[in-house]
Amino acid sequence: MSTKEGHTSGAEESSAYARMHLADWVPGHYDKVMYAPGSYDSFIWGLERPFLREVAASLDGRLGKLRLLDFACGTGRIVIALEDLAGESLGVDISPHMLSEARAKAQHAQFRAGDILEQPQLAPGPYDLITAIRFFLNTEDEMRGRVMVALRGLLAGPESRLVFNIHMNSVHFIPNAIYKRLHGWPPFRTMSYWQARRLAREAGLEVVEVHGFGLVPQRIHRGPLARLARWLDRTTAGTTPIAWALRDMVFVCRLPG
C-alpha cells in the first residue's frame, strides 16, 4: 500500500483519504506551498534531513550499497535526500501525479505507483533502510498496524532500520487542543510518543532512537520572535530528553535480536 508522503494510505477502495489525494493539484500544493522556501515545514525539514542521512550513513558496510525503500514517497523529498547514499533506491506511492514530480527531480531512484498491501510485488525487498515519513499520523487508524507489519516484513535483518515519524505530537498540541475545545472546534489529528512506540512494538519492532524537532509553536515563527524561535528549534533538534514533547518525532526502529 502507499500514499503520497505525508498523507493517507490504504487500499484505494477502503481509504477515502487516499482517494482524496489522488487529485492532480496535490503535488504542486505540496512542493510550492507546504515546502516552499522559507515555510515552516521547509525549516523543520532542514533540521530533520541531516539526521536521516546520519541514520543511512550509520549502516556499516552498506553505505553506497544499501537498498532503500521510501514508502508513501510523495514527490520524492526523502528518497532524493538519501539516494546518493544508496546503491538502490525505490519510492512507492499511490499517486501517479506525485510520482511524476518525484521522477523529474531524482537522479537514479526508481518509482512505482500502487498499494503494497494489495501488490506486494511493487516492493519485494528485502531492504536495509525503509522510511515512512508523514504517513502513520494521517492514515486511517485501522491501517496503521497493517502497514507497519508489512514494512517490518521487508527489512533485511536486525542491522536494517525502519524510520517513521509523527509530525503532530499530541503533547505539543495540548494548548491548541484546549483552545479548540473551548471554541467548539474539531481537534487536530495527532499521535503521542507513547502511541507511536506502541505501534512499533505491536508490529514486532524495537525503537532504538527518537529524534525530536520543533520545540516552539509554529505561530511564533511568524511573529516578531521568529528569529528566537528558530534558534531554539535548532538548539533542541535531534536526540534530546524532551523529544517526546516536540512537534515532530522521528523514530528509528530495528528487528529485535
5, part of any domain: no
Residue type at 64 in one-letter notation: G
CATH number, domain of 85, equals 3.40.50.150
Flag whether pLDDT at 230 surpasses 70: yes
| Phi, psi values for residue 102, rounded to 5° | -65, -45
53, part of any domain: yes
53-96, pLDDT tens digit by residue? 999 999 866 666 899 999 999 999 999 999 999 999 999 999 99
Flag whether pLDDT at 201 surpasses 80: yes
Higher pLDDT, 143 or 9: 143
Average pLDDT over residues 115-124: 93
Higher pLDDT, 3 or 96: 96
User: How confident is the model at residue 31, as a pLDDT?
Assistant: 79
Report residue 204's pLDDT band, with 50, 70 and 90 as the boundaries.
very high
- Which residue segment(s) compose the domain that 153 sits in? 12-252
10 Å CB burial of residue 217 (0-12, 13-18, 19+) is middle
133, part of any domain: yes
2, part of any domain: no
Residue 170, sorted as left (phi over 0), alpha (psi -120 to 50) or beta, turns out to be: alpha
Report residue 27's pLDDT band, with 50, 70 and 90 as the boundaries.
low
How many domains does the chain divide into? 1
235, part of any domain: yes
Flag whether pLDDT at 41 surpasses 50: yes
1, part of any domain: no
4, part of any domain: no
Select, from the ranges 22-26, 29-33, 191-195, the one with the highest average predicted confidence (pLDDT). Answer: 191-195
User: How confident is the model at residue 241, as a pLDDT?
Assistant: 85
Which H helix or E strand runs over 58?
A: none
58, part of any domain: yes
CA 119, CA 115: separation in Å to the nearest integer?
6
